Structure 1
Amino acid sequence: MNKKLVYVAHPFGGKESNRKKIDMIMSDLVLNDVKHDYVSPIHNYGYVYLTGDDYQKGLDICLGLLGHCDVLVLCEGWNMSRGCKGEYEFADKHNIKIYTLDLWKTLNRI
């Protein structure tokens, strides 16, 4: 069985409080849904968080990962996050299915 690869986008801004929130969300998804594989750009690339003029370079690295994924899941507050909005626009342009976290969890009974 080929599992779909799911990219989980969460606001970050380099804030430890956001890292803790996505840690909990990813734990819930990974432990309670064996039908999908999950990736989080914060977990993959958060250690090289870029700001200022380098911000777009950091986002482009994340979008490279998103390009390999089948699904984008947007966490609460995504619409207030520059990065998450960029991920949404990329997914929309590249026909990657998009869900909010609550809808994704409901549809997949997580």
Structure 2
Amino acid sequence: MKQTYISIPITGHNIDTQRRKAERIKEQIPNSISPFDIVDGTDESYGYYMGKDIEYLLDNCDTIFMCDGWEKSKGCSLEKCAADIYGLKILFENESNILGF
């Protein structure tokens, strides 16, 4: 079974808040992973992190969970486009009954 990738807006948000939200989501969705699990740090370029996230998404996941606010995030929009192109199942936080927040 492949993983569920959590697509969460990061740029322009408090990183600690988004990290905590990703951890709460992971508690609710079995076998899920967030961008914070793939590459964590601040010493590389934005393109480096996005490249690693997309690579992981396509190689290891069959589902993507789009967190609220994804539409305003270039990174999340790119992840959704990749998921659309490669036929991954797409779930949306605002349509999900999994999360209690």
Q: Same fold (TM over 0.5)?
A: yes
Q: Which has the larger radius of gyration?
A: 1
TM-score with structure 1 setting the length? 0.73
Structure 1 segments unaligned to the other structure (5+ residues): 31-36
What CA deviation, in whole Å up to 9, does each residue of 1:43-64 have, x standing for no partner?
22132574xxx21221011001
Alignment partner, residue 34 of structure 1? none
Rounded Cα–Cα distance in structure 2 between residues aligned with 1:6 and 1:49: 26
State the shift of 1:102 in Å.
4.2
TM-score with structure 2 setting the length? 0.79
Alignment partner, residue 20 of structure 1? 20
* RMSD after superposition: 2.4
Alignment partner, residue 80 of structure 2? 88
Rounded Cα–Cα distance in structure 2 between residues aligned with 1:80 and 1:97: 21
Q: Identity rate of aligned residues, in percent?
A: 24
Task: Determine which structure has the larger helix proportion and give its number.
Answer: 1
Alignment partner, residue 9 of structure 2? 11
